[in-house]
Amino acid sequence: MIKILAVCGSLRKDSYNNALLKAMQALAPRDMEVTLFSGLADIPPFNPDRDPSTVAEIIALKALLVSSDGLFISSPEYAHGISGVLKNALDWLVSGEEFIEMPVAIFNTSPRAHHALASLHEIIRTMSGRIVTDACMTVPLLGTEFDAEGIIADRNMVAAIEQAFGAFRAYLNGPRILLDVSEV
């Protein structure tokens, strides 16, 4: 079983990013299990003077990462960047080994959110995560009323999600070719 941890960068209950990850959880192939991380709002502000091994929320997040084969991130764009809560969680992970070489697929629900995508790519590469480019996707939900069920009912969106799962599986099962960050 391939285990994927999914993190939504939005705290909004009805966010498109959350809807996308819920749809992906429901559409996951039989050999994949997608677990939605629900503790983003509970993570305290990052403080480098504080030992991450004493912060219960970070211990829980790191345990989920260790038990996962990969990470899905879907984040909105706020003021030309990723959400503060997502950046905060990633900052807590910088000092640990759990994120190094972690395969990551990045999802976007707004074709206009290119600043957040670029920022998230830079952060993930800096943290030594491995972005699975062929599994990353933009699903144009901005301006729709789609929730997870609406996404699941849309054949084009389901096809894009299935392609993302296939590309992620292929990466996990294939030879790992590591690129020099300067080439990206």
Average model confidence (pLDDT) for the chain? 92
Q: Does residue 180 sit within a domain?
A: no
Q: Does residue 96 sit within a domain?
A: yes
Q: Does residue 48 sit within a domain?
A: yes
The domain in which residue 24 lies consists of 2-146+155-173
Q: Does residue 181 sit within a domain?
A: no
Q: Which one, of 44, 46, 37, lies nearest residue 8 by Cα?
A: 37
Q: Does residue 37 sit within a domain?
A: yes
Residue 18 belongs to domain with CATH number: 3.40.50.360
Strand segments (E) across the chain: 2-8, 32-36, 70-74, 103-108, 130-131, 137-138
Q: Does residue 86 sit within a domain?
A: yes
β 2-8/32-36 pair status: parallel
Residue in this structure with the two tokens 């990633």, named with its chain if needed: 90
Does residue 25 have a pLDDT over 80? yes
Q: What is the mean pLDDT of residues 21-40?
A: 97
Q: Does residue 113 sit within a domain?
A: yes
Distance (Å, rounded) from C-alpha 42 to C-alpha 104?
22
Q: Does residue 125 sit within a domain?
A: yes
User: Model's pTM, two decimal places?
Assistant: 0.92
In percent, how much of the chain has pLDDT > 70? Answer: 95
The tally of domains found in the chain comes to 1
